[in-house]
Structure 1
Amino acid sequence: MNGRTNRLSEPAGIDVLFVVLPGSLLLDIAGPAEAFRVANQHLQSHGRPARFRLRFAGPAPEACSSVGLTLGGLEPLPQTVEGRTWCVLVGLQGTLAARQSCHWLQARDWLSRWLAPVLADANTGCKLVTVCAGTLLAADAGLLARRRCTTHHEVLAALQALAPEAEVVGNRVFVEDGPVASSAGITSGIDLALHLIAAEAGDAAAAAVAQTMVVYLRRGPQDPELSPLLTHRHHLHPAVHRVQDAVCADPAAHWNVETMAQAAHVTPRHLHRLFCLHAGIAPLAYLQRIRVERARQALTQGASVGQAAEAAGFGSDLALRRAWKTHAQGTPREARAA
């Protein structure tokens, strides 16, 4: 457990299937799709296989988007949904009026017939992902009964009317309930994509995607606080990011201010200044937080306190307990029992 990825443990790839209708909001498609593309690029640059296969399908071979750009070469809606598939529904220009169109009805019927059964089977690994008012199409297809969900604030009432048995949640960036993940307005689709990337490929990968796309990592208010692997990353300084990437990749390495400065190609004093200015934390304090988080992950996976301490780079059980009290406000239950 040294923080490096075991290629043999990589899960199967995922088909990310965007359902594209006439009037689809282009940013609803392009934002999440670009996040998944950059995630693949990051994974491959670190010797890991690309995880996300982007696909675009619809009831017609082409569709004019919300900004007038025609999207062509769309696949037909597949007659089977197999393997790990994430079906992405996006908002439409004039969503309420679009509900009467033949394309909406075709997509709704396809969702009811082909996607609903695989969502009901927890073993398939399939997800429904909605961006903005794409949640209304899911509701019209009967996919949201007894699910928590959200959508753009302007159509929350319409969503509740379409899915009376759903728990419609307002004022959220996104909501995740089992295999259904829904986001609010437009750019929140990028936030949801980053969350899904973190869960699938790791926090470090999501942080790298956010850095490349120059966006903040955030979660909906209903979610727990950001992982320590994601905090202190809301900056654009390349040297600080290099150190953070290296520490997250191998927290058990022999890190000190000198070795961290070598990774950044700056002096130790300058590194301290850069960290405090851009990350809002001192280098060694950041290292300690990452090590505590790695130890916590190891403990939740069944490791002993000694094993967790070793995996995270602590010299002893006692050093882990002391760090935990400082950064996690209390000794872990597993450590107390040891």
Structure 2
Amino acid sequence: MTTDVWFVMLPGVLALDMSGPAETFALADAFRLHYIGPETEVPTSIGLTMGNIAPLPETLPEGSLLVLPGVFDSSRFFDTPQANLVLHWLMRIQPLIHSQKITLMCVCSGSVLAAKAGLLNGIQCTTHHDVVARLRAIAPAAQVKENRIFIEDRSIWTSAGITSGIDLALHLINRLSGPEAALAVAREMVVWFRRSGDDPQISPWLRYRNHLHPAIHRAQDALTAEPQRAWQLAEIAERAHVSPRHLTRLFQQHLGISVRDYLEQLRLVIAEQWLLQGHGAEQAAQAAGFSSPRQLHRARARGLN
């Protein structure tokens, strides 16, 4: 399924706030990008003019992702006739956002624009550290959090800014297309796929990928594709094109974890998902590749230590 992503373009837009997430979504092959705004061309923070911007549509289709990039001076560029046009447009489509029929993604000071439109009242949110005080002043009813890379509340996502827009885009790709798609994009971009504080269940796919060793990546690719499979160390090493002994050393050296423990963490993710969906321990264990509910219980206990 293809997701439509709509970037709102205003004069003074921070180039990386827009292009970072846009490149990230474009690499995922499951997103269709649109650039909309009150003008057909806008100057950016780096002096480059961006064109071919479509008019603001009357509405957005359900399932869309709406992106509000930041600007390099929010006190100036969010107080212009063009910004006022966008504010009134946001107010018109507010029911779509609050009913969670579309997802809102604010990058950096883009949260200020959302706040001015009344979209963040009662919402947990964040922004760039230089803009936190202003966001609180504009939206005293918002629950503004500091020191967050990004945060979600009722399908409204806000991020700290600049490169955290890429982190958030990767996270949304994970949500919409799965961890393997997000991981593939992160590797293509040679960026670290950061964890989100509210998604520890996907951490094995994220925490142990902050390296560039090709043999380990080959082993991880095989394991993440079929974590429930009855893997033998020799078979994993063969996929990685190294010896079992060398693969064991590589995992300890670069990841600080054994091959067995890495696979167990992947399986725990699947088991926890099945348990959250209301399945019993036996079904969850079988789906994740554990030999029995007892083995699953022991793995969960080790994970808590």
TM-score by length of 1: 0.85
2-structure distance, mates of 1:324, 1:157? 41
Tell me the equivalent position of 1:76.
55
Mapped pair 1:66 → 2:41: no
Measured in 2, the distance between the counterparts of 1:77 and 1:323 equals 52
1:223 corresponds in structure 2 to 198
Aligned partners of 2:71 and 2:110 also within 8 Å:
yes
Structure 1 counterpart of 2:141, from 165, 173, 190: 165
- 3-state SS in 2 of match to 1:185: coil
Pick one of 78, 91, 102 that aligns with 2:70.
91
Q: Does 2:15 correspond to 1:13?
A: no
> What SS does the aligned partner of 1:227 have?
helix
Contact 1:172-1:184 within 8 A present in 2 as well? yes
**Residue correspondences, number:** 304
Q: Contact between 1:256 and 1:284, CA under 8 Å: does it hold in 2?
A: no
1:32 matched residue in structure 2 = 21
Q: Which residue of 1 aligns with 2:95?
A: 117
Q: Go from structure 1 to structure 2 and tell me whether the alpha carbon gap of 1:280 and 1:205 turns closer, same or farther (over 3 Å shift).
A: farther
Aligned to 2:120: 144
Identity fraction in percent: 48
In structure 1, C-alpha distance between the alignment counterparts of 2:300 and 2:45, rounded to whole Å: 51
Q: Which residue of structure 1 aligns with residue 277 of structure 2? A: 301
Asked if structure 2 preserves the Cα contact closer than 8 Å seen for 1:173 and 1:219, the reply is: no
CA drift at 1:104: 0.8
Q: SS at 2:193's partner residue?
A: coil
Per the TM alignment, residue 218 of structure 1 is displaced from its structure 2 partner at its CA by 2.3
Of residues 211, 214, 217 in structure 2, which corresponds to 1:238? Answer: 214
Structure 1 position 165, deviation (Å) = 1.3
1:289 aligns with 2:268: no
Please name the residue that 1:209 is paired with: 185
Q: Structure 2: which 5+ residue stretches go unaligned?
A: none
* Aligned position for 1:4: none
**TM-score normalised according to structure 2 size:** 0.94
* RMSD, matched Cα: 1.7
Question: Unpaired segments of 5 or more residues in structure 1?
Answer: 1-11, 41-49, 330-338
Q: CA deviation at 1:321?
A: 2.4
Q: Distance in 2 between matches of 1:176 and 1:162?
A: 19
Post-superposition Cα deviations, 1:192-240, rounded to whole Å, max 9, x if no partner, equal: 11221222222232222222222222245x5354622322111111221
> Which amino acid in the other structure matches residue 198 of structure 2?
D
Name the counterpart of 2:248.
272
1:104 to 2:83 alignment: yes
Alignment check: 8 A CA contact 1:174 1:219 kept = no
The CA distance in 2 between the partners of 1:130 and 1:102, in whole Å, is 20
Determine if contact 1:21/1:103 at 8 Å carries over to the other structure.
yes
State the secondary structure of the residue aligned to 2:205.
coil
